[in-house]
Structures are given as C-alpha cells and as structure tokens.
Structure 1
C-alpha cells in the first residue's frame, strides 16, 4: 500500500470513528439524563449510579472524540511525531475515573445496606432498565462490528463501555423484577436490601476491568516495550542479518496508542561486498515489508553503519 493510499484509508477510518463516537456521546448523554431523573424519582441508588456512570462516560466520550480527530491530523514543530501519545493518556484517565467511581459506588452501597436498605418504586425502575439495556447492547453490536474493520483502541473502549452498561442494566432489570416478585411473600423483608446489594456486587465485579485497562494504558505511557512485537521484529532482522552476512544489529521497539516506533541499527563489517546505496535501500524496503503494517502509524528507521558504537 502506498503512503498516499494509507493516508486516505486513515482519513476514511477516522470519519467512521468520528461518526460513531458522536452518536455514542449523544446516546450516552440521553441515558445519563434519564438515569438521574428516574433514579431520583424511583429512589434507586443503582439507577442513580448508572446515570452518574453515563455522565462520566459522556464527558470522556467528548475527550475521546477530540483525540480521535487529533490522531489523523499532521504533527507540527511542537508535536513532530504526531499526537499518538494522547490515546493512552485518555484511556488511562478514563480507567482511573472508573476505578474511583466503582469504589465510591461500592462504599455507598455497603453503607446503605448497613442502614437498613432503601425503598424504591420498582415500576419505573423496570421500565428504565429494560429500555436502556436494549440501547446499550444495540450500540455495542454496532460499534463492535465497525471496529472489526478499523481496529481503533478508542472505539474499542467505547464499545466495551456500552457492553458494560448493558450488563449492568440487565442485572438491575433481573434484580428489580425479582424484588417485585418478593413483595407479599415471606421474603418481603429483604426487598429494601436488593437495590444496594446489587450495586455493591456490580461495583466489585466491574472493578477489575478498568484496572486492567489502566495497566495497559500506563504501560504505553511509560514506554514499556511489548515483548511479542519486539520478538517478532528481532526475528525478522536476525534472519536478514544472517542471510546478508552483516556483523550484528540492535533494535528498539515502542508502541504508543495505535502508533508503532521501530529503530533498527545494522552493523556492516569491513570489506562487506555490498557497497551500493541502492542495495541498502532494497534491503531496507525488504525489512519494512517483512515487519508489515506500513502507513502513517508506523515510524520505521533502519540505519546501516560500520561503527558498532553507533548502535
């Protein structure tokens, strides 16, 4: 693929990514507003938490959309390597906010259980949970299908967020229906504990997800080399070095968001038969093709030198 075609494909991907993120923000804002209103009217801590979760998701969605637009813009003298580093920063920030939100929700739920539970209006709660669950799963399927083509970490996180929201709301729906069925039975005294209990359980179950996402994001922020990618690059270069009779090589690999930075230094021994610049360029292109994924997201530098100290 030529660089021009790669840029064109990147712009097309960005437009699809932008449209889906914009739709996601609008729907998230509507879900947030309805969640807060229904949560206050019904007295449900779980629905109120769902609304607050959606507000944070909408705000982070706007940040995500801004970053998505930056990623396809050209760098400048200040950001000469582009804006790729903003992607893991956004993912890390969103993950940290979700960790705090889940922790706060768990603490409030436990306090409510210890205080004797909460009385809620289950009719409103069931309608809200049913409608929102359908919206969440529909958005998850749409974004997941689109992301299978464009492979955007930002859109992937957004799709994952819709899945989590759908699972949360579905669990609330099951709990609300079960609590409604418990009224008028021997288990009615447990009904006030259903809402805070399900919130506490959901918060604990969901907490590992943003923790893992934060770990991946901070690994990129701190420049930790992906072991598998590093091994692939070293294997490709080692084969070429052996085949062409070069002395040694050193490679450096980093992944920042969707960008990949690769630097390769190959030591050419004294008296090596290859002296023509065109031949070195051919080998350079050969290595680039073997590494794969050409385009603006890959920064590949291959240096041939006769001085081992330069590696």
Structure 2
C-alpha cells in the first residue's frame, strides 16, 4: 500500500512529537535536579512517558497503514485505540502517584525549592508545550488520525501542567519575600495535588473512548442516526422495507455492516446489478466520510438481519 500525503504528514507530526518530548525530558529532569522541585520532577516524568509513548505511536502509525493480511483479517487499525487506552492508563497512574506522593510531602513539612529558577523552567515548558499542542492540532485537523489527536491532547495536558507550575512558583517566590515565608514549602506539593486532580478527567475521557473502540461498542446514538440518514439517502432508488445498520469505530476506520431487507418489488437480473448498488452507495458514503468501510448484504427474511 503506497503511503499517501496524509500518512506522510501524520508521520512527520508524530516524529516531531517524539523529538520534542525527548528534549523536554532532559530539560525537565535537569531543572528538577537544580531546583529540587517535585512538581518539575513530575513534569519530567510525564515528558519521559510522553517520549516512550511517542516512540510506540510512531511504530503503530506505520502498522495501521498496512492492509489486512493472514494475521490481521480486518487490518491493523484496532491497534490504534489499544495504544491510546494504554497511554491514558499510564497518565492516570502517573497522576495518582503524584497526588499520593504530594499528600505525603504535605504531611512531612512540604518541599523547599529554588523558585526563581523554577519560574524560568515553567515559562519555557508552558510556551513549548502549548506551541506543540496547537501546531499538532492545527496540522492534524484534516487527518483521520486518533494518534495525532491524542498526542495533541497529551501536549495540552503537559502545557496546563507547566502553566500551573509556573503560576504556583511565582506565588511561592513572592511568599518567600513576605512574613508568610514558612508556608512556601507547601506550595510545591499543593501544586501537584491540584494539577494531578485537574488533569485526571482528560486521560479518563480518552480511556473511555478508546475502551469503547477496543470492545467494539457502537458510537453514540447521535452519530449513528446521522450515518443511517445519510446511508438511506444513497438508497432512494432501491425498493426496501427496512435497513439494519451496525456501526463500529476502530481507530481511524468506521466500519458499517448494512442489511438491506428488500421489498417484494425488488428485482435484479444479475449479481452485477447488486454490485453496482454497493459501489454507488459506498462511493457516496466515502465521499461524505473517507473513514467509512462498508459491507452491504441484500436479504428478504428479516430474521437474517438479527
């Protein structure tokens, strides 16, 4: 299968994410050692996870472009939601670990850090993460790639994390200059608790969406109704009593199994006429949504559609 423009663009975006994630690991861990900040260390660990996930994502991006074969009869696209599910679980586990560790730090007197240098890190990380997230989201908006979409979300989460760290360090820096300086060590762990809790809903949403795809759950009813309406518009020339539609999403592909329960007046002379209906229907549906893959069956007995 030849790699087209969209696939090449997807690989370029994921490669960019991989290299920038690697750079952020060194920057974050270096600043964590200098400033003794647990929040920056957490940000560095998050970047390290993003780095390894980006490596896996690149591998998966190559796999999902392959056609079906003897090992994977329906292609490799099911690997895509599986990877996104794995990534979301890793992020959730990291957040929970950070929250628990921060609570323990609060109980033992907090954590002192070099807030001046930490502010510099926070500014660099915030600008960098939001820039990568925005670039990937903008460049990937016309791609049928959940991999790029989840990666853009991951960078956005890292950007929120870095921005919150920056604000917290600014607050701690000024508190150190006041009579409330004794409270400054509590800022670092408090930041981690707030950040970890605030971030959790994002990977949790990705986890649920990916899990639905892994277990082959149908898309939301609002989505299926739109698809069914569009499908029936392509069948206006076909006399039928009912159309039974089953839909599942797997990564970038939207698979539709259609049972057309034909009316008594339905008649064809050759199998080629059925093929023409299938081709016409699928062409119209793919022009509307290129991610659609279809199988169409013509039946008379409604029980066969059950």
| TM-score (norm: length of structure 2) | 0.91
CA deviation profile, 1:168-199 (whole Å, cap 9, x unmatched): 11111121122111223122111111111111
In structure 2, the CA distance between the partners of 1:20 and 1:273, relative to structure 1 (3 Å rule), is closer
* Partner residue in 1 for 2:128: 135
Q: Runs of 5+ in structure 1 lacking a partner?
A: 1-6
Out of 256, 259, 279, the residue aligned to residue 262 of structure 1 is: 256
* Partner residue in 2 for 1:4: none
CA deviation profile, 1:217-265 (whole Å, cap 9, x unmatched): 0001111101233223433455666763323332211111111111112
User: Is the contact made by 1:241 and 1:249 (CA closer than 8 Å) also made in structure 2?
Assistant: no
Offset at residue 143 of structure 1 (A): 0.8
Deviates more, 1:84-93 or 1:231-240: 231-240
In structure 2, the CA distance between the partners of 1:236 and 1:123, relative to structure 1 (3 Å rule), is closer
Out of 209, 219, 223, the residue aligned to residue 216 of structure 2 is: 223
User: Is the contact made by 1:288 and 1:294 (CA closer than 8 Å) also made in structure 2?
Assistant: no
User: Is the contact made by 1:88 and 1:221 (CA closer than 8 Å) also made in structure 2?
Assistant: yes
* Partner residue in 1 for 2:34: 41
Q: How does 1:9-20 map to 2 (within 5 A)?
A: 11-20=4-13
Out of 31, 46, 50, the residue aligned to residue 43 of structure 2 is: 50
Which secondary structure state, in structure 1, belongs to the residue aligned with residue 72 of structure 2?
coil
User: Is the contact made by 1:241 and 1:247 (CA closer than 8 Å) also made in structure 2?
Assistant: no
User: Is the contact made by 1:241 and 1:248 (CA closer than 8 Å) also made in structure 2?
Assistant: no
* Partner residue in 1 for 2:65: 72
Q: Runs of 5+ in structure 2 lacking a partner?
A: none
Q: How many angstroms apart in 2 are the aligned matches of 1:271 and 1:23?
A: 58
CA deviation profile, 1:82-125 (whole Å, cap 9, x unmatched): 10100100110000111111001001111111111111112221
Aligned length: 304
Deviates more, 1:257-266 or 1:50-59: 257-266
Offset at residue 79 of structure 1 (A): 0.8
Q: How many angstroms apart in 1 are the aligned matches of 2:19 and 2:222?
A: 38
CA deviation profile, 1:16-68 (whole Å, cap 9, x unmatched): 11112112111111211221222122110000000001111111111111111
In structure 2, the CA distance between the partners of 1:42 and 1:236, relative to structure 1 (3 Å rule), is closer
Out of 273, 281, 293, the residue aligned to residue 275 of structure 2 is: 281
* Partner residue in 1 for 2:104: 111
Q: How many angstroms apart in 2 are the aligned matches of 1:273 and 1:183?
A: 85
CA deviation profile, 1:62-84 (whole Å, cap 9, x unmatched): 11111111111222111121101
Q: How many angstroms apart in 1 are the aligned matches of 2:288 and 2:166?
A: 47
What's the C-alpha RMSD, in Å, of the aligned pairs? Answer: 2.2
* Partner residue in 2 for 1:169: 162
Offset at residue 296 of structure 1 (A): 7.9
Out of 292, 302, 305, the residue aligned to residue 298 of structure 1 is: 292
Offset at residue 271 of structure 1 (A): 5.5
1:248 aligns with 2:242: yes
Which secondary structure state, in structure 2, belongs to the residue aligned with residue 272 of structure 1?
coil
Which secondary structure state, in structure 1, belongs to the residue aligned with residue 140 of structure 2?
helix
* Partner residue in 1 for 2:194: 201
| TM-score (norm: length of structure 1) | 0.90
Which secondary structure state, in structure 2, belongs to the residue aligned with residue 145 of structure 1?
helix
In structure 2, the CA distance between the partners of 1:221 and 1:184, relative to structure 1 (3 Å rule), is same
